[in-house]
């Protein structure tokens, strides 16, 4: 058996957003590796081993997946959304950097629908012009760098998508992020909170920055801030193309 | 018959990247509306009318689609990639803003794999940390605003994805963009040119900014610039998570 490693995105939650490319790879895999709730999305079958691990164990998970592929297994590392956006693809390459012997392995990254695109589609088209995507977690970078990026993104007039806005271990930072954004973008700027997008628990709420409160976000929420031209039309929110 | 309007993304080119959600909507549609090469990707069948139009006719196309949905037809506006990223969703909402009577229609946006995510996956994970997406065309915004955004994005340390980098009618601007980026990011920054990603004509090339030339991009190319930490590992290019 010739081993391979696929790092795949399962999309935001709804199986109707899993690409056929990913579904085909799942059917051929011998091992599924990932964070517990993502591995739980893969249907068990005979011959398929499921290796679920906790959050913040990305490097161990990546090394384990590479080691199994090197032994000849067909291994899939699964992320929600897209594996290249604040997910497992970078961790796999970090592990690969430390282990040159594994660099000749058959490694493929399969894209997926990342949360901000699914959220934007549900809300309308708030990312309809130049935008940025920022991970608000400071687990892997200093918080002042996050604030620096928020201010520059506001100055650039980008719409912004925020991943990992708030967690139990970081309850205060999203409040600070909202303060910075209010200062830079003003009270009337539209902000959309998209929780558990495309799942039965989905909840999409658009308010102004003046109305936004930190408890509108949790770890299952992706947040989208409009640019200065973003506006409502009927039940939708969108950013014009000439902004 | 109750009409609806769906604005859907067909992904970057390979049918294996079209979501089942989009495939199901295509099977129910009576009318497909879009730019000629995108409509050409939809298989003809009895009862399905194809309405292909030229580039730069987005507003006419959006109004036509809304009018047909209002008449009770099941209309799909198709974009490549994701409809909310430099594509038709915003144009539809612009048209809707001018026509309040149509705002009660059944309108849904179905996300797709946008070019930068497919390109990043093929190259490795160059968008593995905070990044921005910029449309380099100045058809709908002044060129100085593009340069302003490039400089601020560089200062923020974002990886950057560039859509519509170069066309026959705008041959010189991408050369100017490369000059600005070289000045802001230095000669060693990695830049990936991904042409016709996931199609038989796919070509992925990663070079340094010092080596990059304008003719490496055309209208079928999405360009990804790394951040200061982006590097090569084996045949891949990736951006670490702690950048």
Are A140 and B239 in contact (CB < 8 Å)?
A: no
B4-113 has CATH 3.40.140.10 classification: no
Give the start-to-end residue ranges of the domains of chain B: 4-113, 116-238
Work out the pLDDT band at A170, boundaries 50, 70, 90: confident
CA B52 to chain centroid? 18
Q: For residues B219 and B203, what is the distance between their CA atoms, to the nearest angstrom?
A: 13
Question: From B20, which residue of chain A is nearest by alpha-carbon distance?
Answer: A16
B116-238 architecture in CATH? Answer: 2-Layer Sandwich (3.30)
Q: Phi and psi of B62, rounded to 5°?
A: -65, -45
Residue closest to A191 by CA, chosen among A173, A168, A174, A170? A174
In sequence order, which ranges of B18-87 are alpha helices (DSSP H)? 20-28, 36-39, 58-70
A155/A151 Cα distance (integer angstroms)? 6
Per-residue pLDDT of chain B in tens (243 residues, 90 and over written 9): 689 999 999 999 999 999 999 999 999 999 999 999 999 999 999 999 999 998 778 999 999 999 999 999 999 999 999 999 999 999 999 999 999 999 999 999 999 999 999 999 999 999 999 999 999 998 888 999 999 999 999 999 999 999 999 888 887 899 999 999 999 999 999 999 999 999 999 999 999 999 999 999 998 999 999 999 999 999 999 999 986
> If you write DSSP's letter for every residue of A142-191 in order, what string do you get?
-HHHHHHHHHHHHHHT-EEEEES--BTTB-SHHHHHHHHHHHHH-TT-EE
Amino acid B145: pLDDT:
96
List the end-to-end C-alpha distance of chain B, in Å, as a whole number.
Answer: 53
Query: What is the per-residue pLDDT across A7-57, written as a single tens digit (0 to 9) for each?
Result: 999 999 999 999 999 999 999 999 999 999 999 999 999 999 999 998 778
Categorise residue B72: left if φ over 0, alpha if ψ from -120 to 50, beta otherwise: left
CA distance A173 to A143: 8
Q: What is the pLDDT of residue B9?
A: 98
Is B120 within 8 Å of A111 when comparing Cβ atoms? yes
Assess whether pLDDT exceeds 90 at residue A226: yes
Partner B contacted by A226 (CB < 8 A)? no
Instruction: Identify the pLDDT of residue B212.
Output: 98
**Residue B79 CB coordination number (10 Å):** 24
Q: Which helix (H) or strand (E) holds B193?
A: strand B190-195
What's residue B30's pLDDT?
A: 98
Best residue of A88, A184, A234 to probe chain B, by most B CBs closer than 10 Å: A234
Q: Which residues pair with A100 in a beta bridge?
A: none
Nearest CA in chain A to B157: A149
Taking the CA atoms of residue A65, residue A70, residue A74 and residue A77 in that order, the dihedral angle to the nearest 10 degrees is: 20
Backbone angles phi, psi at B147, to 5 degrees: -60, -40
Mutation target for A interface from B26, B113, B137: give the one with most A CBs within 10 A: B113
B160 touches chain A (CB under 8 A): no
The closest of B114, B54, B63 to B92, measured between CA atoms, is B63
Percent of all residues in chain A with a pLDDT value above 70, rounded to a whole number: 99
What pLDDT, in 10s, does the model give residues A53-87? 987 789 999 999 999 999 999 999 999 999 999 99
Contacts of B171 (CB under 8 A, 6+ apart): B214
Contacts of A220 (CB under 8 A, 6+ apart): A195, A196, A201
- Quick check: A127 pLDDT over 90? yes
pLDDT for B1 equals 62
Nearest to B140 by CA among A234, A229, A155: A229
With bands split at pLDDT 50, 70 and 90, how would you rate the model's confidence at A1?
low
Asked if the model's pLDDT at residue A193 lies above 80, the reply is yes
Do the domains spanning A4-113 and A116-238 agree at the CATH topology level?
no
The residues in B 116-145 lying below 8 A from A, measured between CB atoms, are 117-118, 120-122, 124-135, 140-141, 145
In this structure, the dihedral spanned by the alpha carbons of residues B221, B222, B226 and B232, taken in order and rounded to 10 degrees, is: -60
């Amino acid at each position: 058996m010739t081993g391979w490693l696929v790092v795949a995105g399962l999309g935001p939650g709804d199986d109707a957003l899993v690409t056929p490319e990913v579904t085909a790879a799942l059917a051929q895999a011998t091992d599924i590796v990932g964070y517990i709730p993502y591995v739980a999305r893969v249907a068990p079958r005979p011959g398929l081993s499921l290796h679920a691990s906790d959050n913040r164990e990305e490097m161990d998970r990546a090394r384990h997946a590479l080691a199994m592929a090197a032994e000849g297994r067909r291994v899939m590392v699964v992320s929600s959304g897209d594996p290249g956006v604040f997910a497992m693809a970078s961790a796999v390459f970090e592990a690969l950097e430390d282990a040159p012997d594994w660099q000749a392995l058959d490694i493929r990254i399969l894209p997926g629908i990342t949360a901000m695109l699914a959220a934007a589609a549900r809300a309308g088209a708030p990312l309809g012009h130049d935008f940025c995507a920022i991970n608000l977690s400071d687990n892997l970078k200093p918080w002042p760098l996050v604030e620096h990026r928020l201010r520059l993104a506001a100055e650039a007039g980008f719409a912004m998508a925020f991943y990992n806005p708030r967690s139990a271990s970081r309850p205060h930072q999203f409040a600070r992020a909202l303060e910075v954004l209010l200062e830079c973008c003003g009270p009337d700027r539209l902000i959309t909170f998209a929780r558990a997008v495309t799942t039965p628990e989905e909840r999409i709420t658009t308010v102004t920055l003046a109305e936004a409160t930190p408890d509108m976000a949790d770890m299952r929420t992706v947040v989208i801030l409009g640019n200065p031209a973003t506006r409502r039309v009927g039940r939708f929110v969108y950013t014009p193309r000439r902004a």
